[in-house]
Amino acid sequence: MENSNKKSMKWLWITIAVVVVLAIAAWCIINAGKAEDTFNFSSTFVLFTLIFVIVALGYLLGRITIKGVSLGTAGVFLVAILIGWICTLDFGDIPLLGAFHVAGEGDAIVTVMNKQIQNIGLVLFVGAVGFIAGPNFFKNLKKNFKTYIVLGIVIIASGTLVAIICTLLTDYGSEYWSGVLSGALTSTPGFSAAKDAVAGYGPYLAAQYEGLIALGHAIAYPFGVIGVVLFVQLMPKFLKSDMAKERELLKIGTESLAEKKEGLFECDPFGLAAFALAVVAGLILGSITIPLSGAGYDGPCFSLGTTGGVLIMCLVFGHFGNFGKLSLHIPDSTLKVFREFGLMMFLLGAGFHGGVSLVTSIGSNGIGIVLWGFLGGAVMTLAPMIAGYFIAKYLMKLSLLNSLGSITGGMTSTPALGTLINTAKTDDVASAYASTYPIALVLIVLASQLLITLMPSVVL
């Protein structure tokens, strides 16, 4: 009898919800002719609507599983690209939809998505990863330091070699392929380094070459994200790996995220103050700029940037766990929410900007250069992962999850780490990612600049 009442109530609420939705839809249709008077679509309304529509549809897409493989949070990225493209269309006189039209990459909504939303998400994600990996990071680094250096070199060198071959075989120039390389490895610092390398060409030429770099980056970036996400899921299936056994091989210590040290002062039960302190310290570290040539700060420079600085400082804070009597402990639940929420925001901002950028790029440059860039970028994404895996497995004798964690770090792939954590069902893979990431970060910056400096340029 009780179950019958529950079912009746369930259907009652479903019926009420359907009636309400239909009533709202009917009201909108009736008032469509005077939509501008009826609805007040502010920029805040448009931004929030886009964000939550992308999130809802993205997670629905990410849940679709084919033979055990799914996009997961990366579904948000694909939906964001699609919505970004749709928003560039001319809606004409269609009521309401005109408020969501974006004119191009300079549109205010696109800027907010690309700068604020994406960067806030990146800080939350890498900060959470740093705290998660912190307790075991230095032990793992000490044990496998040479391995991580070798893998970082192999991965970046493989991608750069493909970029060199593409430069020699095509007429698009090293600037374009440097952009493709940074997109294939999803490296914003590499992208910035490539633009810095053409800054000395003079204002007019620099702007033209920066456009080529941006085009290559935008074309290669989507596969750079999705390719690594699928790779870390498919490899364990191809190898028919026993994931329980692989998790045991990955264990490198007994520290727990839940451990607390007694007698310390806590600012808040969620660890928000400790997280904020680590992020501020990371932002300061990441802003330090080091010249790489005799030209000083007028020449090529290197900095850890937002991502590298925050990651390193959160690793340090997570490792020590306290500063004097001040607790730096952050509950496991908080870190997991920050990790997922940050990854979602990062993919949302990057995807929406990418969708708009691709439309602009194809319209301005034609389909030929886009196809070449996509194919070359796909090889630049796949070749380093395959080379890195074989080196890790057969030369370095690393376990599968340690290998995949190192590959995600070497590919500087934030989304792939989130996917790998879900696939492996353990946060311990974050330590391998965090160990290889800084090495790859330095190398991709150098590779992007050297590719432009040493290889042929396209004649504009």
Token look-up 């900060």 returns: 127
Longest dimension (CA), the chain: 84
What is the mean pLDDT of the segment spanning 401-424? 87
Inter-residue contact 211 to 178 (CB < 8 Å): no
Inter-residue contact 185 to 437 (CB < 8 Å): no
pLDDT, position 1: 52
Residue type, position 450, single letter: L
pLDDT, position 254: 41
* Lowest-confidence region among 59-63, 356-360, 372-376: 356-360
Q: 132-157, pLDDT tens digit by residue?
A: 877 777 777 777 778 888 998 999 99
Residue 152's CB is within 10 A of a number of other CB atoms, namely 25
Higher pLDDT, 191 or 227: 227
Inter-residue contact 80 to 347 (CB < 8 Å): yes
| For residue 34, pLDDT beyond 80 | no
Helix (H) or strand (E) holding 458: none
The band of 448, judged by pLDDT with boundaries at 50, 70 and 90, is confident
Inter-residue contact 437 to 140 (CB < 8 Å): no
Higher pLDDT, 403 or 304: 403
What is the mean pLDDT of the segment spanning 417-436? 84
Residue 91's CB is within 10 A of a number of other CB atoms, namely 14
* Residue 154, token pair as written in the block: 């192999």
C-alpha angle with apex 378: 355 to 367, nearest 5 degrees?
A: 55
Looking at the chain, the whole-number percentage of residues with pLDDT higher than 90 is: 12
Give the SS3 label for residue 66: strand
Q: DSSP letter for 64, please.
A: -
* Residue 115, token pair as written in the block: 């700068």
Residue 240's CB is within 10 A of a number of other CB atoms, namely 6
End-to-end Cα separation, the chain, in angstroms: 79
What is the C-alpha to C-alpha distance for residues 210 and 60, in angstroms, rounded to an integer?
A: 36
What is the mean pLDDT of the segment spanning 314-342? 86
pLDDT, position 154: 93
What is the C-alpha to C-alpha distance for residues 79 and 265, in angstroms, rounded to an integer?
A: 44
Helix (H) or strand (E) holding 327: strand 326-327
* Residue 177, token pair as written in the block: 């392929």
The band of 256, judged by pLDDT with boundaries at 50, 70 and 90, is very low
The band of 181, judged by pLDDT with boundaries at 50, 70 and 90, is very high
The band of 32, judged by pLDDT with boundaries at 50, 70 and 90, is low
Q: Name the residue among 344, 301, 332, 272 with its Cα closest to residue 113.
A: 344
pLDDT, position 253: 45
What is the C-alpha to C-alpha distance for residues 159 and 181, in angstroms, rounded to an integer?
A: 7
What is the mean pLDDT of the segment spanning 19-26? 76
Q: 45-57, pLDDT tens digit by residue?
A: 888 888 898 998 8
Q: 94-134, pLDDT tens digit by residue?
A: 656 667 777 777 778 888 887 788 888 888 988 888 888 77
**Domain boundaries defined on the chain:** 126-342+367-454
Give the SS3 label for residue 88: coil
Q: DSSP letter for 264, please.
A: -
Token look-up 């705290």 returns: 131
The band of 437, judged by pLDDT with boundaries at 50, 70 and 90, is confident
| For residue 267, pLDDT beyond 50 | yes
What is the mean pLDDT of the segment spanning 36-50? 73
Residue type, position 36, single letter: E
| For residue 257, pLDDT beyond 50 | no
Mean pLDDT of the chain: 81
Residue 53's CB is within 10 A of a number of other CB atoms, namely 14
| For residue 39, pLDDT beyond 50 | yes
Please provide residue 348's backbone torsions phi and psi, each rounded to the nearest 5 degrees: -65, -50
Please provide residue 65's backbone torsions phi and psi, each rounded to the nearest 5 degrees: -120, 125
